[in-house]
Chain A
Amino acid sequence: MASNRIGFNQFLKSISGEIQLILDTNVIIAFFDEDHRQHDLIKNFLSKLDNKCDPSFYSTVTVKSEFLDFRRRWHLTDGLLDLVDEVSNGRSLITSTKAKINAKKGLLTNRRKQTLNESGLAIEDEGEMEINPSKRLFLDSEIKEIKKSFRAREVQDEYGWIKVCDLYLKEQLTKDESLLDEFCTYLTTRHKDQREKIFQDKEIDWNAATDLCSSTGMGYHDAMILNIFKSSSIPYLVTLDYDLIYGVTIDAPEKTVLLPDNRLSDFKSTLKKAPVRNSKSYCAR
């Protein structure tokens, strides 16, 4: 069986003309997050694609929601860490609110240290952190607790946290969305052009995602992306996620997955003898 995994460099050497690619969440996150270890690699790959060929980038609304949730936490973490030490005309946050943020900051610092080895270098077993770099941010539960510390006693005074969001989140998240919308098209069969050309006038069978999920035990979000990838005529999927690479090998051998060259050998060793399931139609007739 020919491998349906191609490294970025190899792909760039062979490609020209118009191409269509689906971007996974972790690729978009890495492109936006300059602290992500694969940021430079992804940024270079997407920029070089622009120079080498005529790429159209696609994704899904599920990916968009995962990405924007990551960015929500990114901006709030950044803002709250600034706010906790802020002094304005002799005023600081009240002690209880500062204590709450500082307590969560301590937990966050510990999580960030855990991602470094003894020499202070990033650990090599980076899979989890690449797929879930949000461990470097306040967790959703931590943000909720911090939010509670901004609660007012009276309903009419309930705007402290809202003002914090206004300053540290609103504009930034809106900008993120508009930048993503600029280069990414979201796949849907409701769009006439997409329905005809990308989905060959078929509806997407979303129940098939459950079959894909249960086939390899991949996360359901990944199964939804794989399902829409299989249902479409788009030939390429760009991802950093082992689960998706594995899923494409097992359940979509007719498609090609693009990944960083330095990761190719890791996947080769475990996937070269992977079984291929019988082909199944993932589009409802």
Chain B
Amino acid sequence: MKKTNAKRRPMTEISLDITKNNKARPTRKQIDGLFDSLEEVGLTENSKAQKIDNPKKRVARPRNPETQV
């Protein structure tokens, strides 16, 4: 029988490619492209507006503020 993986590279080389694939991250351009698509379908919001919505940053206000004299 022919050797099934006679043409394969050494495992050390394959391992290097695995590391490369594990560490691959999208480019800024690709991320911006994704957000363009997500924005089209209403899945994004203004990040500044979102910060105001953060409960920790909300400022408590009286429901019926007294009239300022």
Contacts and interface: CB of A to CB of B under 8 A. Distances in A.
Q: Tell whether A pairs with B.
A: yes
Interface of A: 18, 31-34, 43, 46-47, 49-50, 54, 56-58, 82-83, 86-95, 97-98, 150, 152-153, 157-160, 163-164, 166-168, 171-172, 175-176, 179, 182-185, 193-194, 196-198
Interface string B26-39: 10001110110111
Given A87-B47, A97-B43, A152-B42, A172 B24 contact: yes
Contacts of A87: 47
B68 interface: no
A166 B30 CA distance: 10
A168 to B, nearest CB: 7
A93 B43 contact: yes
Majority DSSP secondary structure for residues of B touching A: helix
A196 B21 CA distance: 37
A89 B32 contact: yes
Interface string B5-21: 10011111011011101
B57 to A, nearest CB: 13
Contacts of A46: 11
B45 A47 contact: no
Contacts of A54: 3
Contact of B22 (A34, A168, A193): A34
Given A87-B47, A163-B38, A47 B22 contact: no
Contact of A47 (B11, B40, B41, B50): B11
Nearest to B43: A160
Given A160-B41, A172-B24, A176-B21, A50 B11 contact: yes
A175 B25 CA distance: 14
Nearest to A34: B22
A33 B5 CA distance: 22
B60 interface: no
